[in-house]
Amino acid sequence: MNLLLIDDDQELCALLRRYLERELFRVTTVHTAAEGLEEALSGKYQAVILDIMLPGGDGIEILRAIRQRSDLPILMLTAKGDEMDRIRGLEFGADDYLPKPCNPRELSARLRSVLRRGHSGSVADASMALDELQIDLDQHRVLRDGVPLDLTVTEFNILSVLAREAGKVVEKNRLAQQSLQRSLTMFDRSLDMHLSNLRKKLGPNRSGEQRIRTVRGVGYMYTPEQGAA
């Protein structure tokens, strides 16, 4: 598994690289925004760990540039306690985040969680049709009226979970477990941000209504246009 680590803290990079290589990742490290973007778009990597603050650029801008061309799994490293960086990262398509300084073991666990999200389809149920959406679980692709939607891995998995139980409420923490591969912690808004992005990309149904409803205090529900589960 080839992993790209973009961070200007060379000492931290060396530490994380040693740990991740023991976990059987092949790690390439780069330390500037320009190098990071070029490497991320090279097609050589299965995932990226991306710092927010970089020489010559902003990690958020790199994230946006990558998302314009790729759904490569991305885990952001953010300043400890800086909620705005986390929110911005999720808004622009990061799959997860971890505050610095980070525990290498937790980083590895979060990374494997993000990667597992890309392989959650089943052969027995390879595709679903819901309203004007076609959800291809093998190819991790969603078509709306035949037009592909540019979803991140996490957004795809959230939609897949909700679509399988269309017309039923999916409890919030169960949705997090199945789509993020982890439980939510107190004040963790990552699932809400992913859902907000997903709603924008899906757009309203043909009746002009939101496809995904929030059931306050419980969870979320995909509401089929015809009312059938």
In this predicted structure, what is the pLDDT of residue 227?
Answer: 44
Instruction: Tell me which residues of the chain have a pLDDT lower than 50.
Output: 120-125, 227-229
Counting other chains too, the contacts that 135-141 makes at CB distance below 8 Å and 24 or more residues apart are 135/159, 135/160, 135/163, 140/71
Give the closest residue to 209 by CA, choosing from 193, 226, 192.
226
Query: Distance (Å, rounded) from C-alpha 207 to C-alpha 49?
Result: 40
Query: Residue 118, Cβ neighbours under 10 Å: how many?
Result: 19
β-strands 219-222, 212-215 pairing: antiparallel
At 136 the three-state DSSP class reads strand
Report how far Cα 225 is from the mean position of its chain's Cα atoms: 26
Angle at 159 between CA 150 and CA 60, to 5 degrees: 45
Q: Would you say the CATH fold of 127-222 matches that of 2-117?
A: no
In this predicted structure, what is the pLDDT of residue 88?
Answer: 85
In this predicted structure, what is the pLDDT of residue 119?
Answer: 52
In this predicted structure, what is the pLDDT of residue 1?
Answer: 82
In this predicted structure, what is the pLDDT of residue 80?
Answer: 63
Tell whether domain 127-222 is in CATH 1.10.10.10: yes
CATH (one of 1.20.120.420, 3.10.20.440, 3.20.20.140, 3.40.50.2300) for 2-117: 3.40.50.2300
pTM over 0.85: no
Query: Residue 210, Cβ neighbours under 10 Å: how many?
Result: 13
In this predicted structure, what is the pLDDT of residue 114?
Answer: 83
Domain boundaries, the chain: 2-117, 127-222
| Helical H segments across the chain, by residue range | 10-22, 33-40, 59-67, 83-91, 104-117, 153-164, 172-179, 190-202
Q: Which amino acid is at 28?
A: T
